[in-house]
Amino acid sequence: MVRPLTIGGVQWRNNVLLAPMSGVSDVPFRRAAWRCGAGMVFSEMVASEALVTGHMEMRMKAESAGLPFHVVQLAGRQAKWMDHAARLAEANGADMIDINMGCPARKVTNGLSGSALMRDLDHAMTLVEAVTGAVKLPVTLKMRLGWDHTSINAPELARRAVDAGVKMITVHGRTRCQFYKGRADWHAVRAVCDAVRVPLIVNGDIGCAQTAHAAMAASGADGVMLGRACYGQPNLPGDLSRELSGEVLSSEHCYSIVEHYRDMIAFYGEPLGLRCARKHAGWWMERLPFAVAGGVKREIMTSRSAALVEDRLAALERELYSGVLPGTGKRVA
């Protein structure tokens, strides 16, 4: 199941990918996932108009993580901004552009971006054509099955996008109106697989070897993309790729919350870094196989001292790895 992927002439090291996630897959998170073996990592969703007009937050989201390969995901509703943003990303060192037509968030779809574009495929294609015509880089596209169950049009959008030059399609197996409710319909993704002759990635409710096997078998996809399952464990794509390959997980691949935390503080600076780190630390603590004392958790989530928070996280990490097999979450007998 695990194999390299070739996208637009560029070979990725494996087909277990980290999803672009707003507010999550920032530069430090992508670096952590890459160090742990993810096949590819994608930037957070970058609003095209805001990027072009110099919005600092969007510039940070589009920043390279200093990795061998840099994928920027762009969102927008007007072809001119997608064109300019793609050119800017290319000039700033991006190796690939991913177009967002899958985000279900109301603040995005109310602005007629993200999965709202699946309500008007002719308009959606003006954005695809603007990006593929603006850059020499490979362009990929992420989408949902459709806006709702009365308009499942992912196969048509995928076919038209590939005809316009898109080199890879990712499909989340839900409609926009489902948001994240119910279960992802991997079988419905197979219609997209049958419609195109480029690599297809399946996304939605994949977080372990069993679900990865099932999703690829049902959809016919060439790889899997992991999203919410990676909260608190950016090592998951790499660990899963090794597990699917039959490798034994070892401490060499162990994710360190302390290393990740230091990277966040260095990247954002202490005040902002402290705030950004809290959700990651919170997710990580929720996954621990032991209870964290209320006072310790409160210090980690509220302290304004980066040194104090690092000290508390380091103590928890020592406790974790003194009794847990690294990379598995399973206690040593």
Using alpha carbons, select from 109, 53, 105 the residue that is nearest to residue 76.
109
At residue 325, the 3 state secondary structure works out as: strand
Q: Kindly list the distances between the CA atom of residue 39 and the CA atoms of 58, 238, 241, 272, in Å, as whole numbers in the listed order.
A: 24, 7, 8, 29
Give the count of beta carbons closer than 10 Å to the beta carbon of residue 292.
Answer: 16
At residue 28, the 3 state secondary structure works out as: helix
At residue 168, the 3 state secondary structure works out as: strand
Q: Do residues 189 and 216 lie in contact, with contact meaning Cβ atoms separated by under 8 Å?
A: no
Give the count of beta carbons closer than 10 Å to the beta carbon of residue 125.
Answer: 17
276 is catalytic: no
Catalytic residue among 36, 103, 230, 254: 103
Q: Do residues 220 and 190 lie in contact, with contact meaning Cβ atoms separated by under 8 Å?
A: yes
Instruction: Give catalytic residue positions.
Output: 103
